[in-house]
Amino acid sequence: MKQANFHSIIFRTKRIFAHWVVNLLGPTDQFVMRHRILNGTLFAGLIAMAVGLGSEFFREGFEVGGLLALWAAFAFTILFYYLSRVKRYFEILILPTFVISSLTACLQIKYSGGIVSANVMLLAPILVLNMLILGKKWDSFAIVFFVVLLFAINMVQESNPSWFSDYSSVKARSEDFLITAVSILLLLGLMLRTLNRSYEDAITEVSRLKYQQDGDYYLTSLLTRPLSGIRNRSKTIKFSSYIKQKKSFQFKNREYELGGDICVTDQIVLRGRSYCVFANGDAMGKSMQGAGGVLVFGTAFRALIERTHRDGILSHYFPERWLHSALDDLNNVFEGFDGSMSMSLVLGLVDEKTGYMYYINAEHPYPIRYRDGKAQFLSEQVTNFKLGMQKDRARIETCWIRPGDTIILGSDGRDDLEIGFDETKNRVINFDHTSILKQVEETKAEIEDLGKRLQTIGELTDDLSFLSIQFVQIPENRSKMNSQKFEGIIKILKENRDLEALEYLEKEIITENENPLLWKLLYQVYRKLGRYAQAGQACETFSILHPSGLQMIWNGVIQYTKAGKIAEAIEMAERIYSRKPEVIPVLKILIKLYKKSKQLERVDEYENALQRLYS
């Protein structure tokens, strides 16, 4: 029982003391370090002056002239403390506090008999206090002022000793020394307590804010986590990702990362064919701002994939049109931020059966292809703007991914490495964008090793991410048609026995519908027989099976146009234009086709594009 009462008394005492300190120094919710130091300094000055006044009064009574000055300083100190504590005028009180503390020290020295040790004891803590109050800008001024003041006092003592009180007895000098020492020790103790309490409150406040900030970071990281990652389960297209965000933090004794880089993959079906869709993006800003961009992009990307799965219109697009539509949708989302948020990006599709890749580079670092131990950029042309800044129609790049190839996409963190310091101690940033090729070769395109290797070469100055793509060809049943059969069909065609060739090809195409050569022969037969719509369809199917053949796509445009299928002809022509926007014949036929379909806005758009090419 007694022990419980004892702990209760201690607890109440601590609460009263803490409440007193808060009232003395000022509340932490409006925390200003200089404000609290000034409050503590003025309070310490009040006590020190009270001790000095008591000493002078009991020893000399009211006969000492310096007593009036001390009383004046004491009154001003009370006034300043009231104003800084209650009225919060502490900014304008800093200079008067400095002046009065200095003058008070000089008066105390004058009537203390000019003891050198007492002078040092009095001036040293006042110097420290004024340095804390005045701030970093005036440190040198305060030091010089008090050092000059100390030497000046000593010189005046030697030249005019009559200006100082004369304590002839050793006892008087000892008493004065003792009282001065007690006053200074008390002042130093209060000063240190003030600083200690201020720093404790500062650390507590910073720790609280840091914990709250880390909690916000943690919640944001929870939101971004499901929006990224490898989602496809393709047997032929293999993806792997590596992300090292610049911002790392601890929350509940676990390490987390937060940043603006994202790697995401998924699967969609276009025109009955399976594609892997991928994206490697770098949102503007770092930590929370970058993570905000990832949230926006990841949500829009997820909605786009779901809409493709459910919407019959999007699933009937060609890969080129789907990419354009996806980029436009994502760009419209970022445009809503009016330039305050943007994102560099590589967005693409890979045909699961052929390994043919379509991609758009929106101001992202160049994709890298690692083949046979050599690394090189796929393309060094960045013709598209970032998300949120798209102006012109994006250009689509294409390439074949052979078995054994590795395509690596990466953010600009791979290049922006801090590799040391120059002679002037300024940090040196790597500006050689080709140096990554050597690192890819040395790590054999293993992106986990690549990411770790870059961090040993230099310090990351930005978020770092890699996404690798590989094509694994699955053995299929080979074509049952041998070379003799093909030669026989070609011979029939040369002899102009078109109907006989058509009958044979249509029979074979039932079991050989994945053979692009058969579709090419069918196109030739249909074209000779004047079956333009069927010829266009054969070109279209061939272009899906062998997408790099732009000539067959062009043939499809011609055949559909002859058949009067304007919409289909436009679709095929747009596929060529999206890859080769500088081809003038394609632009001309698009203008004619859009005129026939009465889409005058598109006519104006392509006429302007044609005019730019001519100029």
- Which residue would you say has higher pLDDT here, 471 or 216? 471
User: Which of 162-176, 259-273, 296-310 has the lowest average pLDDT?
Assistant: 162-176
Angle, CA 46 vertex, CA 45 and CA 47 arms, to 5°:
90
pLDDT at 321: 93
pLDDT, one tens digit per residue, over 438-474 is 999 999 999 999 999 999 888 888 899 999 999 998 7
pLDDT for residue 388? 87
> Looking at residue 61, what is its pLDDT?
52
Mean pLDDT, rounded, for 424-446: 88
Instruction: Give me the mean pLDDT over the 203-217 stretch.
Output: 81
Q: Can you give the pLDDT at residue 590?
A: 94
Is 49 or 520 the better-scoring residue by pLDDT? 520
Tell me the pLDDT tens digit for each residue of 356-375.
999 999 999 999 999 999 99
Highest mean pLDDT among 242-256, 316-330, 478-492: 316-330
Model confidence, pTM? 0.72
Using pLDDT thresholds of 50, 70 and 90, give the confidence band for residue 594: very high
Q: Residue 406 forms beta bridges with which residues?
A: 370
Q: What is the pLDDT of residue 159?
A: 73
Q: What is the pLDDT of residue 208?
A: 82
Q: Mean of the pLDDT values across residues 484-510?
A: 79
What is the C-alpha to C-alpha distance for residues 110 and 65, in angstroms, rounded to an integer? 11
Kindly indicate the confidence band of residue 30, based on its pLDDT and cuts at 50, 70 and 90.
very low
For range 582-592, the mean pLDDT: 92
Highest mean pLDDT among 378-387, 415-424, 519-528: 519-528
How many Å apart are CA 5 and CA 110, to the nearest integer?
52
Confidence tier at 329 by pLDDT (50, 70, 90)? very high
Reading phi first (left if > 0) and then psi (alpha if -120 to 50, else beta), residue 391 is in: alpha
pLDDT of 173 reads 54
Helix (H) or strand (E) holding 312: none
∠ Cα 75 79 83 (to 5°): 170
* CATH number of the structural domain 483-614: 1.25.40.10
| Pairwise pLDDT comparison (322 vs 383), residue with the higher score | 322
Q: Quick one: DSSP state of residue 282? A: E
CB 348 within 8 A of CB 277: yes
Share of the chain above pLDDT 70, in %: 69
Question: What does the block give as tokens for 505?
Answer: 């090809």
Least confident of 73-82, 324-333, 561-570: 73-82
CA 236, CA 112: separation in Å to the nearest integer? Answer: 94
Q: What is the mean pLDDT of the chain?
A: 80
For the domain made up of 226-471, give the CATH fold: Phosphatase 2c; domain 1 (3.60.40)
Burial tier of 275 (Cβ tally within 10 Å: 0-12, 13-18, 19+): buried
Instruction: Give the CA dihedral 584, 585, 586, 587, nearest 10 degrees.
Output: 50
Element (H, E) at 254: strand 254-258
**CATH 1.25.40.10-classified regions of the chain:** 483-614
C-alpha distances out from residue 306 to 85, 269, 301, 606, Å: 61, 11, 9, 32
Rounded to an integer, the average pLDDT of 185-201 is: 61
Planar angle of CA 29, 31, 37, nearest 5 degrees: 140
Write the pLDDT tens digit of every residue in 49-74.
Answer: 665 566 556 655 544 444 555 566 56
Distance CA 566, CA 554 (A): 14
What is the token pair recorded at 338? 């009016």
Q: What is the pLDDT of residues 80-104, one digit of tens each?
A: 666 666 666 656 666 676 676 666 6
pLDDT at 31: 44
Q: How confident is the model at residue 384 (pLDDT cuts 50, 70, 90)?
A: confident
- Tokens found for residue 391: 């102006």
In the DSSP assignment, the letter for residue 352 is: T
Give the Cα separation of 525 and 497 in Å (integer): 9
Q: Give 172's pLDDT tier (boundaries 50, 70, 90).
A: low
Using the structure block, give the residue that is written with the tokens 């919710």.
29
* Residue range 274-289: mean pLDDT, rounded: 90
Instruction: Please state, in angstroms and rounded to a whole number, the distance separating the CA atoms of residues 247 and 314.
Output: 38
CATH 3.60.40.10 residue window(s) in the chain: 226-471
